[in-house]
């Protein structure tokens, strides 16, 4: 039996990354890397994660 996994994303209003101070950037990057590691473990492709202008 095959299961489909759906992930929903939404825009969250906030500061731009470039406007954060160094400590805030480190915190967010650490969280992002943890999430990406989990997605890798779950074998979820991340091709959709692209920089948008």
The three-state secondary structure class of 52 is coil
Residues in Cβ contact with 46 at an 8 Å cutoff, skipping those fewer than 6 apart: 36, 39
Q: Which of 7, 1, 10 is nearest to 46 (CA)?
A: 7
pLDDT bin (cut points 50, 70, 90) of residue 48 is low
Separation between Cα atoms, residue 17 and residue 37, nearest integer Å: 21
The pair phi, psi for residue 47, each rounded to 5°, is -60, -25
> Is pLDDT at 38 greater than 60 in this prediction?
yes
pTM over 0.75: no
**Mean pLDDT for the stretch of residues 6-26:** 89
């Amino acid at each position: 039996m095959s299961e489909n996994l759906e992930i929903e994303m939404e825009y969250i209003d906030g500061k731009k990354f470039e406007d954060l101070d160094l400590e805030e950037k480190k915190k967010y990057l650490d969280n992002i890397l943890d999430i990406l590691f989990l997605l890798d473990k779950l074998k979820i492709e991340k091709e959709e994660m692209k920089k948008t202008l």
